[in-house]
Amino acid sequence: MSGNPDFDVYRLSEDHEAVREAVREIARDKIAPYAAEVDEQARYPQEAHDALVASDFFAPHIPEEYGGVGADALATCIVIEEVARVDASASLIPAVNKLGTMPLIIGASEEVKARYLPPVAEGRSTFSYGLSEREAGSDTASMRCRAVADGDGWVLTGQKSWITNAGVSDYYTVLAVTDPDGRRGSNVTAFVVERSDPGFTFGEKERKLGIKGSPTRELHFDRCRIPGDRVVGAVGEGLKIALATLDHTRVTIGAQAVGIAQGALDVATAYVKDRKQFGKAIAEFQGLQFMLADMAMQLEAARQLVYVAAAKSERGEPDLPFFGAAAKCFASDVAMKVTTDAVQLLGGAGYVRDFPVERMMRDAKITQIYEGTNQIQRLVMARQLLR
C-alpha cells in the first residue's frame, strides 16, 4: 500500500532529513547557548538571527525566483520545529518571515513581489504581519484601521496590536478598511508598510509570559502616507488574502509547538534517567514511565498531523483550512500538556530557571493563542465539517 500514491499523504525525503540535520546542528551550536540569556534579558535573539541568515534558514520558504532557497512547506516546518526545540523565540524569525510575506506570495503583483521578497530571502530585512487590533482579535472583520485614497497614494490611520518582531522588521503587511460603507469582509485591503514611512511608529514592548526574545509591540499609524504601488492584491481583497495566509501559517505554529514539546521531552527524559530516589533512577518507576510514554505518543501524533497539514499546504489542497486549524490546535494543546508534564517530572528542579522546561512551559502557552485561539480553530474545523 505504501507504493500507492493514494496513500502517500506525505513523505520525508532525503532532502528533508538533510535539512533537519543541518538545522539541528545550527540550533544546538549557535542558538541553544543563548536561549536562557535571551529569555532572562527579554532581548532579540540576534545570534539566532545571524546564524539563520548565514545558513539560508532565515526565510527558507521564499521561492528561488525571488532569491530564496524555495523550501517546501514541510521543509520550512522542519526548520521551525528544530529551532523551537531549543528556543521558541528564535523559531519566530523564520515563522514570522513566512507570515509577513505569505500575503505577497498569495496575492501581490510581480512588481511588489520582486521589490520586497528578495531582501527577506537574502536576510537583509525581516517581514511582520499586522492584522489584529485591540478590539479586533478573533473578529478580524471588525478592524478599525483605515486607509484612505489620496492622490496617487494612501493615508493610513489607526493601530495594530500584538505584532510579532515589531520594531525589528523593516516591512509589514498591514490590513486596513478601505471602504467603511462596504460589505463587511470585502472592504479591507492589504498594504506593505515600511518602517521608515512617515507617521508610522511603535508602541512599547509588551511584557510577556513567554517568547520574551521576540518583541511584541503595537503599530501606530498617524496619517501614515504610502505610495499607491504598495497594495497587495486587489483593493477589497485584503481579508480574503489574510485568511488564506493563516490557513498556511497556522501549520508553522503547529511545527513550533511540536518543537517546544520535543525540547521539553528531551530534557525530561535525560533528567529522569539521571535523577535517583529510593536507591534507583526515577526512570525505573512505572508511574513516570507512563507519563513519558503519553508525552511521546501525543507528541508524535501532533508531529504527524503537522506534517500532513504541511503537505496539504504545499499542494494547496481544498481541505487545508481544516488541517491547518487542526494541526495548530492539536499540536499547541499537546505542547502545553507535554511541557507541563516535563516540569512535573523534574519536580522542584522543573520550577526554577536552572533547567529550561519552565521556559518551555511559558513559551508553549502562546501557541494556543496566536494566529487564532484554539477556540477559533475549533470553529474553523466545525465550519469545514458542516459546509
Angle between helix 320-346 and helix 374-386 axes, rounded to 10 deg: 150
Nearest to 226 by CA among 202, 191, 201: 191
How far, in Å, are 70, 181, 202 from residue 121 at the CA level?
A: 9, 38, 25
**DSSP class of 3:** T
Note whether 92 and 141 are within 8 A (CB): no
**DSSP class of 233:** S
Distance CA 81, CA 101 (A): 19
Q: Which three cell numbers stand for residue 42?
A: 527579554
Residue 217, classed as helix, strand or coil, is strand
Asked about 371 being catalytic, the answer comes back as: yes
Q: Which residue has the cell 525505573?
A: 284
Nearest to 178 by CA among 200, 150, 201, 198: 150
Q: How many CB atoms lie within 10 A of CB 137?
A: 18
Half-sphere exposure of 331 (CA within 13 A, CB side): 31
Strands (E) in the chain, as ranges, are: 127-130, 146-150, 153-164, 171-177, 188-194, 200-202, 216-227, 231-232, 276-277, 280-281
Catalytic residue among 82, 218, 314, 371: 371
Distance CA 264, CA 266 (A): 5
**DSSP class of 67:** T
Burial class of residue 55, CB neighbours in 10 A (0-12, 13-18, 19+): middle
Distance CA 70, CA 81 (A): 18
Catalytic residue set? 371
